[in-house]
Amino acid sequence: MQAARHVVCALSGGVDSAVAALLLRRRGYQVTGVFMKNWDLLDESGVCTADKDCEDAYRVCQILDIPFRQVSYVKEYWNDVFSDFLNEYEKGRTPNPDIVCNKHIKFSCFFNYAVNNLGKLGSMGICFVGKRNFENFILQYLQPRPGKFISIEDSEVLGTHKGWFLYTLGQRAKIGGLREPWYVVEKDGTKGDVLVAPRTDHPALYRDLLRTGRVHWIAEEPPAALVRDKMMECHFRFRHQMALVPCVLTLNQDGTVWVTAVKAVRGLTLGQFAVFYKGDECLGSGKILRLGPSAYTLQKGRSRAGVATEGSGDGHSDSPGLGPTR
């Protein structure tokens, strides 16, 4: 009789990882449940959510009658993931800690642990720091930087905020005293102002051009067609489960790419990852570091034939038909 195959299932304490462990066990696998503790500070109510999640994961293992183990990567998580998370917010970007965590924790620390101690790596789950009041949480680590909410249409000051880094392009701005919703469309890191616009479909929320950092390609680096032609048609998304958007990639000499969408996309955000697809195949991804002008800027004739940058820009001018804007 063939021995049961051994898999490691990282249990977060939630439903998804518990069901994955159950299905693997029912299919004849020898399953070991492992809880990764990546965070140990108290939340705003004085409760350590990591301890509660660990207890939930342990109960799942008891119910499924599988071994349970716990590993701690609190130091690694802080150094490799959370420090990057804070640094990105200070720059005004909106980071994706899950992708960084995949690289440094899930597919490095945890993968090595699973292979060296428990045999093969199977289904995995991951927790960040649990549910939080985001503003209260982030202000425990970053100093407040008060600024103004300013209408992009007439420059009227609509209210104040505690820090421009607290806001993401496309999100609804919490401005006291206003009956109608306003949305974040730009951020001025120099002045600390957050520019907002009325209506969820305002043209200032839409852009069709972005530039990534160096792309991480999965199968080919980079794809042969992109190397040959310097341009390639594909699809991309930058949010989980958003509809794929047709686009054209333009390859730069430093391995970065310009992404030109066939139609303007709402809420493109610095710091998120543009993920590229060809049919059902995921080609790779790159962090969004520069954004083109919004549809509103173009309509108003204030484009200056350039692309918006955060900070002082990277000095490159190899954009597809556009030069850099400082």
Digit-coded pLDDT (tens) for 196-219: 999 999 999 999 999 999 999 998
Is there a catalytic annotation at residue 127? yes
pLDDT score recorded for residue 97: 82
Q: Mind listing the pLDDT tens digit for each residue in 269-279?
A: 999 999 999 99
Number of residues that make up the chain: 326
pLDDT score recorded for residue 313: 40
73, 38 Cβ separation under 8 angstroms: yes
Instruction: Give the bridge partners for 273, in sequence order.
Output: 287
pLDDT at 114 over 60: yes
- Give percent above pLDDT 90 in the chain: 41
Out of 9, 61, 109, 127, the active site residue is 127
pLDDT score recorded for residue 44: 52
* Nearest in space to 293 (alpha carbons), one of 324, 255, 252, 251: 324
Question: Which residues touch 246 (CB under 8 Å, ≥6 apart)?
Answer: 233, 234, 235, 261, 262, 263
Q: Mind listing the pLDDT tens digit for each residue in 25-73?
A: 888 888 888 888 887 765 555 555 667 788 888 898 999 999 898 888 8
Which strand (E) or helix (H) includes residue 56? helix 49-64
Helix 15-26 vs helix 49-64: angle between axes, to the nearest 10 degrees? 20
pLDDT score recorded for residue 15: 85
Question: Which residues touch 112 (CB under 8 Å, ≥6 apart)?
Answer: none
Is there a catalytic annotation at residue 101? yes
Q: Mind listing the pLDDT tens digit for each residue in 9-35?
A: 888 777 888 888 888 888 888 888 888
**What is d(CA 159, CA 184) in angstroms, rounded to the nearest whole number?**
13
The pLDDT confidence band at residue 124, using thresholds 50, 70 and 90, is very low
pLDDT at 248 over 60: yes
Rg of the chain's alpha carbons, rounded to an integer?
Answer: 23
* Nearest in space to 294 (alpha carbons), one of 197, 217, 182, 225: 197
- Give percent above pLDDT 70 in the chain: 83
**What is the CA angle 58-25-106, rounded to 5?**
60
Out of 101, 109, 234, 247, the active site residue is 101
Q: What is the overall mean pLDDT for the chain?
A: 83
Is the bond into 222 cis (omega within 30 degrees of 0)?
yes
pLDDT score recorded for residue 90: 86
SS3 (DSSP) at 261: strand
pLDDT score recorded for residue 45: 56
The pLDDT confidence band at residue 126, using thresholds 50, 70 and 90, is very low
Six-digit token string for 48: 């350590």
Report which residue type is found at 207. Answer: R
pLDDT score recorded for residue 112: 76
Q: Mind listing the pLDDT tens digit for each residue in 229-241?
A: 999 999 999 988 8
> How much helix, strand and coil, in percent to the nearest 5, is found in the chain?
25, 30, 40
Same fold, 144-200 and 204-301: no
Which strand (E) or helix (H) includes residue 50? helix 49-64
pLDDT score recorded for residue 73: 85
Give the start-to-end residue ranges of the domains of the chain.
Answer: 6-135, 144-200, 204-301
pLDDT at 2 over 60: no
Residue 13: left (phi > 0), alpha (psi -120 to 50), or beta?
left
CATH class of 144-200: mainly beta
pLDDT at 301 over 80: no
Which CATH entry fits the domain spanning 204-301: 2.40.30.10, 3.40.50.1370, 3.30.1360.20, 3.40.50.300? 2.40.30.10
The pLDDT confidence band at residue 316, using thresholds 50, 70 and 90, is very low
What pTM was estimated for this model as a whole? Answer: 0.68
- CATH architecture under which domain 6-135 falls: 3-Layer(aba) Sandwich (3.40)
